[in-house]
A and B are shown apart, each in its own frame.
Chain A
Amino acid sequence: KNEVEQSPQNLTAQEGEFITINCSYSVGISALHWLQQHPGGGIVSLFMLSSGKKKHGRLIATINIQEKHSSLHITASHPRDSAVYICAAWRDSNYQLIWGAGTKLIIKP
């Protein structure tokens, strides 16, 4: 079992829908990172979370330390949100970064 699990692997939705991508981890972590990779290949850091919730524009990230779970939400989704979203957890025992497999999101107009 992977230490960081993302779901779903693939998600196709219509423009305007509310999107949720989940990330669960099984190890102690110091922080969790959400990244976005566009079809062109560029990687953008979205959020780094160690507790609570962060919001940036239409993107919201939450983390529940007790449940070892984080979610990335996109409100009013748009075709330009189509990308692969990756969560990565910083293991607190050795500051090692553990990656989820990514969620491929396609938003149809």
Chain B
Amino acid sequence: DAGVIQSPRHEVTEMGQEVTLRCKPISGHDYLFWYRQTMMRGLELLIYFNNNVPIDDSGMPEDRFSAKMPNASFSTLKIQPSEPRDSAVYFCASSRGADEQYFGPGTRLTVT
């Protein structure tokens, strides 16, 4: 398997623009996680899905953030409108049940 795939790897956008981050989990994994990492706050869990259903979105910072998982092989994290403080590395991870999570390479987002 190719592992967890994220795209784009880098995104630079202007404040106010919509940003969509994409994730393809490992085939057969039933959990998908979205994380954000910043120097100030470290690694934060934003939201996770089980069998495509959002289970806990308490980590989503505000209404500007939304995540979807239309099927078992694809998830998106959208920020609209984006702000400079959203600049971070966003990781997607997947797992089979409560087993080890496999992380994608991350998307480095810069909002100017």
Interface residues of A (CB under 8 A from B): 30-31, 33, 35, 41-48, 86, 90, 94-97, 99, 101-102
Contact with A along B69-112 (1 / 0, CB 8 A): 00000000000000000000101010000111111011010000
23 contacts between A and B (CB under 8 A): A31-B98, A33-B101, A35-B101, A41-B105, A41-B106, A42-B105, A42-B106, A43-B103, A44-B103, A45-B103, A46-B100, A47-B100, A48-B98, A48-B99, A48-B101, A90-B98, A94-B56, A95-B55, A96-B56, A97-B45, A99-B43, A99-B45, A102-B43
Number of interface residues of B (CB under 8 A): 21
Give chain B's interface secondary structure class.
strand
Residue of B nearest to A102 (CB): B42
Which residues of B21-56 are within 8 A (CB) of A? Answer: 33, 42-45, 48, 55-56
In whole angstroms, what is the CA distance A102 to B98 when docked?
Answer: 21
